[in-house]
C-alpha cells in the first residue's frame, strides 16, 4: 500500500492501476486461449481474482471514476479499498459475460484473510504493530493461500462463478460489490483504459 496516492506511468491512481487494470489486462490477454483450451479439453477453466475485505472501505458509490485519473486528495486506504472492490466487480462481470457466451470458465474473487505481509511497509507505526502482534492474529502466507487454491482447484467449486470467497467458503461481499450496473460501468471504463494506454 502506498503512503500517498500517486500515479502510474499511464496516469492512473497507482493502487487501481496495479490491483485492477493490470489484472484486467492480463485476463483479457489470456481469455481467448482459455476459451479455446476449455472447448478443446472439455475441462472447466477457472479465473481467481485476489481481493480483500478492505473492498468495503471505499466511496458510497463504490468506484469514484473521477479519482482514478486524478488521485489528488484521495485517501490511500480508500484507494486500496476501491481497487479491491474493482477486483470483485471484475470477477462478477466476467462471470456474467462468460455465462452469457456459454463458456465453461468460472470467475470468482477471493479474500485470503489478514496475512503477515509487507503491505504496510510504508507505515512504520502500523508495520511495527503488525509485526509485533501479527504472528498471533494474522495468517501465514500458506494459510492465506488455502482459499485461493480451494477456489482454483477443488471439485466442490466446479460450476460456481461470480462469487466472493473467504475461509474456503462463499461469503457475502459489500453491497457495492454486488452492484451489477457498477460492474458493467467498471468493465467499460477498464476496456477504454487499456485501449488508450
pLDDT in tens, 134-166: 666 666 777 788 899 999 999 999 999 999 999
The one-character DSSP state at 11 is S
Judge whether 150 lies within some domain: yes
Dist. CA 92–CA 99, nearest whole Å: 11
Q: What is the pLDDT of residue 116?
A: 66
Residues whose CB falls within 8 Å of the CB of residue 91, separated by 6 or more in sequence, listed in order? 47, 49, 51, 107, 108, 109, 162, 164
Dist. CA 180–CA 79, nearest whole Å: 21
Dist. CA 7–CA 179, nearest whole Å: 27
Catalytic residues: 80
Q: What is the pLDDT of residue 124?
A: 65
Judge whether 9 lies within some domain: no
**Tally of domains within the chain:** 1
Q: DSSP secondary structure string, 40-105? A: HH---EEEEEE--GGGGSSBTTB--HHHHH--TT--HHHHHHHHHHHHHHHHHHHHHHHHHHT-SE
Q: Which residue has the higher pLDDT, 3 or 55?
A: 55
Judge whether 3 lies within some domain: no
Residue 131, pLDDT above cutoff 70:
no
Dist. CA 52–CA 63, nearest whole Å: 15
Judge whether 35 lies within some domain: yes
Q: Hunting for cell 466446479 — which residue is that?
A: 158
Cell of 135: 504472528
Q: Which domain holds residue 27?
A: 14-196
Judge whether 46 lies within some domain: yes
Residue 49, pLDDT above cutoff 90:
yes
Pairing label, strands 169-171, 105-111: unpaired
Segment 73-127, tens digit of pLDDT: 778 889 999 999 999 999 999 999 999 999 999 999 999 877 766 655 565 666 6
Judge whether 43 lies within some domain: yes
Average pLDDT, integer, range 5-13: 79
Cell of 107: 470467475
Judge whether 2 lies within some domain: no
Dist. CA 38–CA 32, nearest whole Å: 10
Q: Report the CATH number that the domain containing residue 53 is assigned in CATH.
A: 3.40.50.720
Amino acid at each position: 500500500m502506498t503512503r500517498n496516492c500517486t500515479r502510474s506511468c499511464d496516469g492512473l491512481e497507482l493502487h487501481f492501476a496495479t490491483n485492477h487494470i493490470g489484472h484486467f489486462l492480463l485476463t483479457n490477454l489470456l481469455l481467448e486461449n482459455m476459451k479455446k483450451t476449455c472447448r478443446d479439453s472439455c475441462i472447466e477453466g477457472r479465473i481467481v481474482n485476489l481481493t480483500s475485505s478492505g473492498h468495503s472501505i471505499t466511496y458510497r458509490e463504490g468506484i469514484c471514476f473521477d479519482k482514478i485519473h486524478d488521485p489528488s486528495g484521495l485517501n490511500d486506504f480508500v484507494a486500496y479499498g476501491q481497487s479491491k472492490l474493482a477486483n470483485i466487480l471484475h470477477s462478477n462481470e466476467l462471470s456474467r459475460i462468460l455465462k452469457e457466451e456459454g463458456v465453461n470458465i468460472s470467475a470468482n474473487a477471493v479474500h485470503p484473510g489478514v496475512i503477515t505481509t509487507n503491505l504496510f511497509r510504508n507505515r512504520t507505526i502500523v508495520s511495527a504493530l503488525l509485526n509485533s502482534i501479527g504472528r498471533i492474529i494474522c495468517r501465514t502466507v500458506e494459510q492465506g493461500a488455502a482459499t485461493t487454491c480451494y477456489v482454483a482447484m477443488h471439485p466442490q467449486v466446479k460450476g460456481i462463478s461470480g462469487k466472493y470467497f473467504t475461509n474456503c467458503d462463499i461469503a457475502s461481499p459489500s453491497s457495492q460489490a454486488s452492484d451489477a450496473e457498477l460492474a458493467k460501468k467498471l468493465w467499460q471504463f477498464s476496456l477504454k483504459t487499456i485501449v488508450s494506454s
